[in-house]
Chain A
Amino acid sequence: MLGVLFGFALTKGEAVSWFRIQEMFHFESFHMYGIFMTAIPCAALALTFIRKMNLRSMDGEPIVIPTKVYHHGIIIGSLIFGFGWALTGACPGPLYAQIGGGYLVTIVTFTAALFGTWTYAKFQRHFPD
């Protein structure tokens, strides 16, 4: 259900729009930046609240706030992902939304992304980590 809401909000907010992505990378509109600049603080505030109140998840476990560790792929991988984002107009979330939105040809984009992930996995030890 949450996924449906997330996908619907992404689509209605045009964050899955190839046009909006080009506009964002040309700094021609505030729209996409507005989405990031409201999404991140909303999430950050909620995380602070969860931490301060020591909230537990519905199964009663203590909530683990995600952490990320630096490795070289953070920069190299992200640059490559950025190249792909500008071409396809989609990061992984919108890949699904674009298919759902009736652009069946983006199943090809999605399959190529799967193959990209598989290629990374297969040759992982050859890339600087």
Chain B
Amino acid sequence: MEFLTRPWPWYVTGPIIGLTVPALLLLGNKKLGVSSTLRQICAATLPGKIPFLNYDWKKDQWNLFFVAGILIGGFMGGILFANPAPVAISQGTAQLLNAQGINDLSGLLPNELFNWKTLFSAKGFFLMVVGGFMVGFGTRYARGCTSGHGITGLAALQWPSLLATMSFFLGGIVISNFVLPIILSL
């Protein structure tokens, strides 16, 4: 039981994530890639005759079951077997976030920022709406995200995936270090 509630070290989570790639291939020639499901859901629900969304999304239905699984996994890890203690991030990051007004380090996301009230402020709008939009837009433009490029692509030694991974890390570093402090001070 303790193993379930305690956070897992990187050397437990890493191999499970990595071995998901061959497991999906062996089970049915399926490629691990989560951002494709955003395209699928768009194709299935959103209107407009768009060539990019006009494809046989039902063929990859397994992926929707896969992400439904992630949602259930998130429920198990975040609620059912939630870690009761605040996240054990480094002293440096904790101090930095404190200085930026984030004091509650419990849960998966800062409760002070990710709530319905903040959503309707400039801060929340940038963090959730603009941020979410960029995740959906960027991953589709790049044809892959952390799982498709960062894990699958790199493991298959695809050099475009290396470029993609370097680019999204660069983007994240710039925002996290230079732009996020400004947004948090809004």
A→B interface (CB under 8 Å): 1-26, 28-44, 46-47, 49-50, 55, 57-59, 61, 63-71, 73-103, 105-106, 108-122, 124, 127
Contact = CB atoms under 8 A, between A and B. Distances in A.
Contacts of B168: 78-79, 81-82, 85
Contacts of A65: 25, 156
A3 B23 CA distance: 11
B73 A4 contact: yes
Given A23-B89, A88-B128, A100 B70 contact: yes
Contact of B89 (A1, A19, A44, A46): A19
A112 B128 contact: yes
A6 B129 contact: no
B10 A103 contact: no
B19 A42 contact: yes
Contacts of B8: 9, 12-14
Report whether over half of chain B's contact residues are helix, strand or loop; otherwise say mixed: helix
Report whether over half of chain A's contact residues are helix, strand or loop; otherwise say mixed: helix
Contacts of A10: 13, 17, 70, 73-74, 77
B139 A77 contact: yes
A8 B77 CA distance: 5
Contacts of A36: 14, 150-151
A21 B86 CA distance: 15
Across the A-B interface, give the 3 residue pairs with the lowest CB-CB distance, nearest first.
Answer: A3-B69, A7-B73, A82-B171
B132 A28 contact: no
Q: Taking each of B108, B140, B154, which has the highest tally of chain A beta carbons within 10 Å of its own beta carbon?
A: B108
A37 B65 CA distance: 27
